[in-house]
Structure 1
Amino acid sequence: MHHHLINQISHFIKLSDAEKEWISDRFATRRYEKGDYFLREGQVCREAGFIEKGLVRYFVTKEDGEDLTVDFNKEQEFTCNYASFLDHSPSNTSIQCIEPTTILCISYDDLQQLYLHVEEGQKFGRLICEYLYVLAIKKVDTIYRQQPEQRYLQFLDRYPELVSRLPQYYISSYVGVKPPSLSRIRKRLAT
């Protein structure tokens, strides 16, 4: 049984032992090497994942070829381009593994069955949607209202354990500055 996955779902809803087993049977284990893609921009996201081990980044590629990091997911978090997953449209982001990563994956059809088969499955789907909606609104608000230094402080607050796991250029891209500017921000905050 996928204990970490079941524990995470149990934060949202109550599960019987039979439901836990049923859910575990619907998730396939996939292993990715550093640099592998869970999803490439332009592909349809056909699976939602739960990161058992590892770290991924979400990014978009600008017309000039520059990558802009828009988010990260780590152990015990779900990963997916939810819009692409729901309406089967091409993804506007890529999801790439930053380190060797193990992801438990469920197909769209199996997730729909989970909503029907598990007593509180519909509630789980609603709570996940609400959670993702709040994250998206906060992210948009951050982009429009906060200066890079504030975004860096928010990054540190949300992902304190990732500072040592991420290259500085991914963090600077996430904050919205070039690496030398991030170095200056770090220096100012250290004094």
Structure 2
Amino acid sequence: MEPAIEAFLNSVKKICPKMTDDELALYATKLTIEEFQKKDYFLQFGQVQKSIGFIANGLVRSYFIDKDGDEITVGFYAEGDYATHYSAFIEQQPSKYYIQCLEPTVMVCLSHENMQWVYDNIPNMERYGRLIAGEILKRQQERIESFIFQTAEERYLDFIKHHSGMFNRISISHLCSFLGIERQTLTRIRQKIAHQ
């Protein structure tokens, strides 16, 4: 079995320990592997996302383009995360986001059609799907609330705390866009923290 698929199935088993080896083996028959180069797109604005992608290796960012033509980063996703505009994927609607690889990336993919098959034929997979959907929703809520309840400095400290391994893998401009701050504001925040 492909190492990427094996890693993915191990992560499924960790979240859903009741999954049997037979169920996992059946699930594996519905998975494909896609490889992307740096700057390749997994999803483009206006496209219907045909597959959900589990990142086995690599890093992607999700962004949209605002009315002024600026790219606004809404998320970074690395190993062990899903690359998806989830609501658009579930509804099979055109995406409002781009998902672009920041590094060479390997994804384990499950098509929308195969996901329906899996839910119908592997009962334990529905539980897994609900747990993943809940996790995606929780992260979206946390992101929204970070802009309501946190200062820019708190958002930056939070990012360092929860994504320390990602910190040296992303550009300052993408980080500023994600945090919703100007570059000079980030410089000030870093200087302030350095002197504390």
| TM, length-normalised to structure 1 | 0.96
Deviations 1:9-48 (A, max 9, x none): 1122122122121122211111111101000111111110
Structure 1 distance, partners of 2:74, 2:186, is 16
In structure 1, the gaps of 5 or more residues are none
How many pairs does the alignment contain?
191
1:66 aligns to 2:76 (yes or no)? no
2:92 paired residue number? 88
1:170 aligns to 2:174 (yes or no)? yes
1:78 aligns to 2:82 (yes or no)? yes
What root-mean-square deviation, in Å, do the aligned CA atoms of Structure 1 and Structure 2 show? 1.1
Of 151, 159, 163 in structure 2, the residue corresponding to residue 159 of structure 1 is 163
- One-letter amino acid of the structure 2 residue matched with residue 103 of structure 1: M
Deviations 1:40-83 (A, max 9, x none): 11111111011011000010101221101111110111111111
1:27 aligns to 2:31 (yes or no)? yes
In structure 2, the gaps of 5 or more residues are none
Q: Percent identity?
A: 30
Deviations 1:130-173 (A, max 9, x none): 11221111111111111111111111112101111111111111
Moved over 2 A (4+): none
Of 88, 92, 114 in structure 2, the residue corresponding to residue 110 of structure 1 is 114
Structure 2 distance, partners of 1:162, 1:125, is 26
| TM, length-normalised to structure 2 | 0.93
